[in-house]
Structure 1
């Protein structure tokens, strides 16, 4: 893999190549293949790594890589790692695997003492590492919105996410590695072996479990194993498969790890993104699953509309969102935005665009992307909400590349089509949703596909003074 990457990069000195992955199964495959071809190192940084089918399959690839002598470093946010202590500690028994937890709670077992810790450390524990990065041999990196788990790779039985990653090669890979090193060596990253102990021999027991995997699990993994078996190597994939978009105008940015303690504000990611938004001359397209613009965001978009900049936003409908409380923070801003001429779209909770692997019919947006003036693009973990701006650490790739911007714009257009998303509009000073999935189109007078109880809870939650936490 390293030789193939070097051959490509040597033809584009000083440039960065980007390969888009909007298909969930392909996103799984590129991670699995790259791990299987790693020769020196795997540096992985994630907010969520689920203990499920795809999480375990990728975890097994890490174990096999470590067996080959690859140095594996895994940095996880502790918010979603806490219930996986035993499995993670078992993996870390391998001499080539190191695991650290970001901003962890120190009381791991006693829930009574942990409750006290949550009370006294509540403010600091509310700040999480939301970064996502997959770095192989410091030669390629994958950055985007996907965590590791079934719903990100089309393996969830009910609802799967629409998301986007980009594989990076060339100049900007060193920036991703530098960000990883900053977080890995930060005071907030604590070695797992200082927090959790596991019995000797646990790793061997895990290997035995994998060998004795029951028939049901093997049947479920066949889709993924077959796809891996029939997939080309990284080198072939890049040379003969997907288009590589090359550009010199690219950087990978991240909040500093110090944001976890409220410091380093001059280096926060928002300082890189805000000037891009306000400089839009013709159009700005946003895809954000959790969209809470606040008064500042409404003013930003209103100012853009004053100069005839077209602004379009795709977010989740109440029926599609996986975090109902965030929708309560977004809902009050719909009317002001629409009255300013912003086009608002909310993803339908149905998957009309692709074949489902395990029968899942539900869909939810998880893509964090913006395209400005059909040239400047961002792909990453950053949501357009107060939590991404002020609380969590985020990262992403910001670049100018017209062809890639065109592909992302086409993806936006596909997702906002009338059979995929509701288009919001104002009629007689009331909010309406146009549903083009039926013929003739349906006009909803309340949140579509949601019962009165859920609508009432969301309405009540919108009155609470919690916007800064959303």
Structure 2
């Protein structure tokens, strides 16, 4: 069994220097400043030089092409070396594609993500990665460090395999006890994160988009699920995606994951990892018999790709991504930022711009480019989360202060319902209840000709703090396909239409020309049981939520949202 083979192949690393320096550490631990210095030192020691990015992994990189590569290259040749795309709109299909590619991998797997949840799908994915590593596939996993500490047992288990290496980007601390102190001492560094999502198999197939790894993205959570969007890519653009991954992987901010013993010296790392391996095996067996996995197996995206039966859309494209140096916050690097690469395309819009973003906080600079578009007569339509569908209330509060302004500019604005896509989710027999819906897709369509999909939101974090990745596709056919998806998501069954309506009171009528803009009120329009319904305040929110919006809205936190 591969679970036993792992430990024959590689022993878990321990901090050999720890016992030698124990006496010194006891002295330094007394002082808070020395503890912070130790934290910085331990991080520095874990860094791996860019000149030797694979010094830990030992595997045979066969020069013979895999079956998946042969199929993909044949299709690329038939389409004049353009890029082929397949859009993944449902969580079930996304998980099916991910696990199918892992099972098909023969040479390499690269996974880059902001989050990796230690839940049912996260554990099954880890189990599949271990199986691939047992076949001799090289696996590299690059995760942002911010939330990784809470999943350290899972990640340490993956990192224990000789063919798997895990690295953390922009680490806060390699010690559980020092992390809270690092949050205070290194606040500017802590707020800058790697938000990229990329998955590359055998260097010829890649997925980028909005999904992290976890139940909430793959239609497995009973209480809350995201509506998200990824794109599977083949062709020359995959080389660019692979280059972006390697750029981050070999950067000075990508740090080798420590063993569990190093992270928490009060625990027995070997026992923790062995226990996690058993948990992964039990979880996999349980899920394999579930109705969820039956639905996953029916999807068959990768099977169709291998047999050249997948309906790929072919076009030219351009990959855009932030440099890893963005986490330093240096102004001289801002010209390289993804948003600055993206803005010229938005500025060239002639007739229409459609935007899907879960966290819409345009700030003053965003209001300026919206205003310029509207002055040219460009129609701007935006879909974002409502308060009830939003998983981050702080983000909604940042959006709420700009909502009236964008409506006054003539923007057509929609807010996603918490009951969106209920009809489809009712067919998921594995769910114990119908979950609340949230929007997590990121999509921009320009003039029905260009489409941009990836990880960035329209907010200050994506613009100034976090690193992002996105792909721009030049294709009327693809833009029309995505526009149809946009139209579906803004239908009354899925979204509220937010408008400004003149307020009616005892002294003024709605059609009175003397009614000023200050007298206009926000209205949420939708359909309910075949009839049009209007709300004068945020739907599905109570007095407590409204008071929270007012209070938090006073805090000076917009730059971090």
The TM-score range, normalised by the shorter chain, is over 0.9
Equivalent residue for 1:145, pick from 196, 201, 210? 210
In structure 2, the partner of 1:226 is 294
Provide the C-alpha distance between the structure 2 equivalents of 1:353 and 1:181, rounded to a whole number of angstroms.
41
Query: Aligned to 2:240, what secondary structure does the other structure show?
Result: helix
**C-alpha contact 2:93 2:299 (8 A) present in aligned 1:** no
Relative to structure 1, the CA distance from residue 353 to residue 280 in structure 2 (aligned partners, 3 Å threshold; closer, same or farther) is farther
1:12 has 2:103 as partner: no
Q: Give the superposition deviation at 1:411.
A: 0.7
In structure 2, the partner of 1:366 is 440
Provide the C-alpha distance between the structure 2 equivalents of 1:332 and 1:221, rounded to a whole number of angstroms.
48
In structure 2, the partner of 1:156 is 221
**Cα deviations by residue, 1:67-123 (Å, 9 ceiling, x for unpaired):** 00000000000111111112211221111000000111224221xx33221111011
Relative to structure 1, the CA distance from residue 210 to residue 51 in structure 2 (aligned partners, 3 Å threshold; closer, same or farther) is closer
Relative to structure 1, the CA distance from residue 233 to residue 382 in structure 2 (aligned partners, 3 Å threshold; closer, same or farther) is closer
Query: Aligned to 1:10, what secondary structure does the other structure show?
Result: helix
Provide the C-alpha distance between the structure 2 equivalents of 1:231 and 1:424, rounded to a whole number of angstroms.
36
Q: Greater CA deviation, 408-417 or 458-467? A: 458-467
Relative to structure 1, the CA distance from residue 80 to residue 241 in structure 2 (aligned partners, 3 Å threshold; closer, same or farther) is farther
Provide the C-alpha distance between the structure 1 equivalents of 2:400 and 2:215, rounded to a whole number of angstroms.
29
Provide the C-alpha distance between the structure 2 equivalents of 1:370 and 1:243, rounded to a whole number of angstroms.
22
Q: Give the superposition deviation at 1:221.
A: 5.9
Provide the C-alpha distance between the structure 2 equivalents of 1:213 and 1:278, rounded to a whole number of angstroms.
49
Query: Aligned to 1:253, what secondary structure does the other structure show?
Result: strand
In structure 2, the partner of 1:355 is 425
Q: Give the superposition deviation at 1:368.
A: 0.4
Q: Give the superposition deviation at 1:437.
A: 3.3
In structure 2, the partner of 1:305 is 374
**Cα deviations by residue, 1:22-45 (Å, 9 ceiling, x for unpaired):** 011000000000000000000000
* TM-score for both structures, normalised by structure 2: 0.80
Equivalent residue for 1:447, pick from 521, 538, 549? 538
Equivalent residue for 1:316, pick from 382, 385, 394? 385
1:434 has 2:525 as partner: yes
Query: Aligned to 1:465, what secondary structure does the other structure show?
Result: coil
Query: Aligned to 2:290, what secondary structure does the other structure show?
Result: helix
Count of aligned pairs between the two proteins = 465
Provide the C-alpha distance between the structure 2 equivalents of 1:117 and 1:231, rounded to a whole number of angstroms.
45
In structure 1, the partner of 2:34 is none
Provide the C-alpha distance between the structure 2 equivalents of 1:70 and 1:226, rounded to a whole number of angstroms.
26
Q: Give the superposition deviation at 1:211.
A: 4.0
**C-alpha contact 1:66 1:94 (8 A) present in aligned 2:** yes
In structure 1, the partner of 2:511 is none
Q: Greater CA deviation, 395-404 or 191-200? A: 191-200
In structure 2, the partner of 1:29 is 96
Query: Aligned to 2:110, what secondary structure does the other structure show?
Result: strand
Q: What are the residue-to-residue correspondences of 1:104-115 with 2, within 5 Å?
A: 104-110=171-177, 113-115=178-180
1:397 has 2:465 as partner: no
Query: Aligned to 1:436, what secondary structure does the other structure show?
Result: strand
Q: Give the superposition deviation at 1:241.
A: 4.8
Gapped regions of structure 1 (runs ≥ 5): none
**Cα deviations by residue, 1:144-165 (Å, 9 ceiling, x for unpaired):** 0000100101001111101110
**Cα deviations by residue, 1:306-329 (Å, 9 ceiling, x for unpaired):** 121110000000010000011111
Q: Whose Rg is larger?
A: 2
Relative to structure 1, the CA distance from residue 238 to residue 346 in structure 2 (aligned partners, 3 Å threshold; closer, same or farther) is farther
Provide the C-alpha distance between the structure 1 equivalents of 2:105 and 2:204, rounded to a whole number of angstroms.
10
**C-alpha contact 2:174 2:263 (8 A) present in aligned 1:** no
Provide the C-alpha distance between the structure 1 equivalents of 2:349 and 2:153, rounded to a whole number of angstroms.
49
1:174 has 2:239 as partner: yes
**Cα deviations by residue, 1:354-391 (Å, 9 ceiling, x for unpaired):** 13421333110000000000011111000000000000
In structure 1, the partner of 2:396 is 327
**C-alpha contact 1:45 1:75 (8 A) present in aligned 2:** yes
* TM-score for both structures, normalised by structure 1: 0.95
Query: Aligned to 1:427, what secondary structure does the other structure show?
Result: strand
Provide the C-alpha distance between the structure 2 equivalents of 1:233 and 1:407, rounded to a whole number of angstroms.
18
